[in-house]
Chains A and B, each alone.
Chain A
Amino acid sequence: MRTAATWLVGLAVLGCSGPEASDAVLCQDVIQRLCAGPRCGVVEERLGVKDDCDGTLVARARCAPDDFVFTTPSRDRWLECRAPLVRQGTLRTAVPGCDNVSEVLSSCPDVEAFLKGVR
């Protein structure tokens, strides 16, 4: 019976989500959400970006290659800090609130440092 229940729950979960996104896609997703316009002032202030926010941050983070893999911060830490950015929605075109952006940058200095290119 337990096996059957697990099978049903698993099917239900699988029915709600697809495969894991790669680390590169996750990295670029966070950068895309931070830079989505209208861009929050705190992004420019804390991360020091102006034009071509996406390109600048991807370059600093060096996560453009498809084989990029998180080390520091780890993938789990990255997902933990990303959580406020998906509160407005999981669609990749969703624009997070500036309070969510501020929360990420203030509560995740390691992510902020990673996006500044500090290793």
Chain B
Amino acid sequence: MRALRGVLVLALAGGCFTVESTSRVERGPLLRSYAQDSTLPGGLEGKVAVDGAVVNFAVTAVQTCRTEQFEEYAEERITERQAKGAGAALASGIAAVLGAGVLAVVSLVVSNAPDVSSIDAAGRYGAAPRQHVQAAAVATGGLGLPALVAGIVGAVQSGVDVVSTKTTQVVSSKERPCNPAGASGLLRLSAANGALLSEQPLDGGTAAVPLAALARPVEAVTLGEQVVQLDQEAQRTLRAATACAQLDARQTGDLSTLGDGQLLRLVESQRGCAPLRRTAPEVTDPSFEAELRRRQLAGHVAAAPTATRATSYDEAVAATAPTLRFAEGSGDLGALDAPEPLSGRAATLRGTIEGALSVNIGVVQVADRQLFLVLPNEPAWSGDFSVGARVEVVGILAGVHTVGPRTLPVLRVVWMRNAF
């Protein structure tokens, strides 16, 4: 029972304090650093090349190799527990108990004779000086002992725990395609509506697809369930191949019997195929552009060329395949002396904006020459094209026009940007 009582007293004393606990983590020195390689599933990469009437696909299965750099540190998790007030209680308890002890010792040398000069209401003499000192000792000890116990319990509860661990941190991670290997399986080319355009087995990672099979734009290239990723160059080549296939599939005959849509698609195919067959007769044949220009002047066909679907200067260059270059010192500038035969041909131009005749017609100065620039109603580009601005233009030559006192060659702008 006494032990239990003691425990209860200690528990009560401990309960007087709120033990606050704070933890912090301190990083120690770097123990080691190491690299770890891992291989992850990758994907399929495709290359496209056109060889005459065949489109060659090269499909490579690649994995992703990841190299991670780790650093291992020593780490200390420090937990500090502090019983607030324990220190004060301990100090006051010690002082009081010591004081009580001193008083108890002093009482031994103080007179024990009662104070006979007074008799209280109960008929007792006044207390002896020793009694006074002993009472003071008891009172001091009675106050100090609980404080001392509480302070000791609080001090025991207070403390610092340090747990040392190791921690690892990834400081860098690099991924690269790796382990390329020729893919195998059935290569499928699909159109936008999911229709199958061609299906060829891969042999050593390559497959040859007849150009004629690509008369409709290829929307997806797949191998089994996986999509073959084509880079921009492969996508451009595939678009050009489609344009060439469409051009090859045209019906020969009198152009005047073609509908406007058919004619526009032919012109678009001619321009699109140009990167693959720059000098082929079917690409350089000016009759399509001439017929289109004739209909545009007659108002049958919208003035904006189909190449306005370009989304960048480079894409416009790729789509129109310019064969003329008008710039300071360019030898092609002399051709502007007789611009009519150049109609329909794509050209690049570097010059300075000289003025604006309307919202979509401007005048550009190139060396000692001037041209009209005809802009589409809603150009896909933007920039500062005020008077004096230096510009770089991709466009289609469209004969000669006279506005006011000026008669100048016309360049229908496919893309324009600020430059040089």
Please choose the segment from B90-98, B124-132, B247-255 that sits at the chain A interface, where 4 or more of its residues have CB less than 8 A away. Answer: B124-132
* Nearest-Cβ distance from residue A107 to partner chain B, whole angstroms: 15
* Contact in complex: B117, A92 (CB < 8 Å): yes
Q: Residue of A at shortest CB range from B126?
A: A18
Please choose the segment from A42-50, A58-66, A83-91 that sits at the chain B interface, where 4 or more of its residues have CB less than 8 A away. Answer: A83-91
Contacts of B132 in A (CB 8 A): 15
Q: Residue of A at shortest CB range from B119?
A: A21
* Contact in complex: B126, A19 (CB < 8 Å): no
- B121 CB contact (under 8 Å) in A12, A75, A90, A93: A90
* Contact in complex: B138, A86 (CB < 8 Å): no
- Given A15-B127, A18-B126, A18-B127: A90 touches B118 (CB 8 Å cut-off): yes
Q: Residue of A at shortest CB range from B135?
A: A15
* Contact in complex: B126, A90 (CB < 8 Å): yes
- Given A21-B125, A79-B122, A90-B126: A12 touches B117 (CB 8 Å cut-off): no
- A26 CB contact (under 8 Å) in B118, B119, B127: B119
Is the CB of A14 closer than 8 A to any CB of chain B? yes
> A14 to B133, alpha carbons, bound, how many Å?
11
* Nearest-Cβ distance from residue B117 to partner chain A, whole angstroms: 6
* Contact in complex: B134, A17 (CB < 8 Å): no
Q: Which of the listed residues A11, A12, A29, A90 has the most CB atoms from chain B within 10 Å of its own CB?
A: A90
Q: How many A-B pairs with Cβ below 8 Å?
A: 76
* Contact in complex: B124, A21 (CB < 8 Å): yes
Interface residues on B, range: 20 to 34
* Contact in complex: A12, B139 (CB < 8 Å): yes
- Given A15-B134, A21-B124: A90 touches B139 (CB 8 Å cut-off): no
Is the CB of B159 closer than 8 A to any CB of chain A? no
> A29 to B127, alpha carbons, bound, how many Å?
18
Contacts of B115 in A (CB 8 A): 18
* B window 103-144: CB within 8 A of A: 114-128, 131-132, 134-136, 138-139, 142
Contacts of B117 in A (CB 8 A): 91-93
Contacts of A29 in B (CB 8 A): 119
Contacts of A21 in B (CB 8 A): 116, 119, 123-125
> A53 to B122, alpha carbons, bound, how many Å?
25
Interface residues on A, range: 20 to 34
Q: Residue of B at shortest CB range from A17?
A: B124
* Contact in complex: B123, A79 (CB < 8 Å): yes
- A14 CB contact (under 8 Å) in B120, B121, B131, B139: B131
* Contact in complex: A12, B138 (CB < 8 Å): yes
- B138 CB contact (under 8 Å) in A1, A8, A82: A8
* Nearest-Cβ distance from residue B101 to partner chain A, whole angstroms: 16
Contacts of B138 in A (CB 8 A): 8, 11-12, 15
> A92 to B117, alpha carbons, bound, how many Å?
6
* Contact in complex: B122, A17 (CB < 8 Å): yes
* Contact in complex: B119, A8 (CB < 8 Å): no
* Contact in complex: B114, A92 (CB < 8 Å): no
- Given A11-B135, A11-B138: A16 touches B119 (CB 8 Å cut-off): no
* Nearest-Cβ distance from residue B112 to partner chain A, whole angstroms: 9
Is the CB of A20 closer than 8 A to any CB of chain B? yes
- Given A15-B127, A17-B126, A18-B115: A82 touches B134 (CB 8 Å cut-off): no
* Contact in complex: A20, B124 (CB < 8 Å): yes
* Contact in complex: A19, B125 (CB < 8 Å): yes
Is the CB of A25 closer than 8 A to any CB of chain B? yes
* Contact in complex: A19, B124 (CB < 8 Å): yes
Residues of B within 8 A of A (CB): 5, 114-128, 131-132, 134-136, 138-139, 142
What are 20 of the A-B contact pairs (CB < 8 Å)? A11-B134, A14-B127, A14-B135, A15-B136, A17-B120, A17-B125, A18-B114, A18-B126, A18-B128, A19-B124, A19-B125, A20-B124, A21-B119, A26-B123, A29-B119, A79-B123, A89-B118, A90-B121, A90-B126, A92-B118
Top 9 nearest A-B pairs (CB, nearest first) are A15-B135, A18-B114, A18-B125, A17-B124, A90-B118, A91-B118, A11-B138, A90-B120, A21-B119
